[in-house]
Amino acid sequence: MSVLNKRKILVAGNWKMNNNNKETEAFLENLNVEFNNEKVEVLLCVPYTNLGVALNLTKNSNVKIGAQNCHFKENGAYTGEISPLMLKEIGAEYVILGHSERREYFNETDETVNLKLQAVLKNELKAVVCVGETLKQREDKITKEIISMQLKKGLKNILEEHVKNIIIAYEPIWAIGTGKTASKEQAQEVCEHIRNVLGEIFSKEKAEEILILYGGSVKAVNCEEIFKQKDIDGGLIGGASLNVSEFKEMISIANGI
């Protein structure tokens, strides 16, 4: 369990393309939950248009704010894109990279994830790098190979000194937004594999420092058993992070582990 390994538990919300500024305001005003910051970290990854409001309202709190994507260049002729430098400038601390929805709908690949990761780390932001297999890949029993490849390509040429700013989220695609959660054993097995691969890429010691999240239909009712797994250090939570009571409950559960 995270606590034994001295890793924090990260409760991270991914709002996707949901919530306007008014809803963001209402959510954050209601997010009055106490937690031990030595043990638990709380993050909300909001749409770009809500970053200003969210950052302003969390100025004096322990809640961190992040984006859900960025470009790999700092500026230039990339109409419609947002750079890591821009995120840094407004005070965002985190950014999700390589979410399966971005891979599926926006042609994101391990190569672009790698370019984005390098740019994000250069700008001293923290990256939540998502990996995960499809249902077909799981049925074909190639989950571990797929995850290894995503990690090796996605984390190519990343220096060990940047490891402290990398978080991995294991999100089996078949469990995202489907209500199907991986069992705690399935999630732990893959997260242990991720830690072993990180050990090969960096070093065993460094791999022990990296937070590995599970994501895929995590909610208040199932988060405790997931967060208690040896190699799982929290959750990347989509649907259930839109409900402030549920999100608060998950933070309290993490705080009590």
Residues with a known catalytic role: 99, 171
Residues lying near ligand PEP in the complex (CB under 6 A): 14, 16, 171, 176-177, 215-218, 236-240
In the complex, least distance from residue 182 CB atom to ligand PEP, rounded to whole angstroms:
11
211: β partners: 167
Q: Which of 148, 165, 154, 234 is nearest to 199 (CA)?
A: 148
Cβ distance to ligand PEP smaller for residue 92 or 218: 218
Please identify the residue of the shown chain whose CB is closest to the bound ligand PEP. Answer: 238
In the complex, least distance from residue 106 CB atom to ligand PEP, rounded to whole angstroms:
14
DSSP 26-87: HHHHH------TTTEEEEEE--GGGHHHHHHHTTTSSEEEEES---SSSSSS-TT---HHHH
In the complex, least distance from residue 133 CB atom to ligand PEP, rounded to whole angstroms:
14
Cβ distance to ligand PEP smaller for residue 121 or 213: 213
Element spanning 145, H or E: helix 143-154
Cβ distance to ligand PEP smaller for residue 167 or 202: 167
Q: Which of 120, 20, 131 is nearest to 70 (CA)?
A: 120
In the complex, least distance from residue 70 CB atom to ligand PEP, rounded to whole angstroms:
17
Phi, psi of 10 (to 5 degrees): -105, 120
Cβ distance to ligand PEP smaller for residue 101 or 110: 101
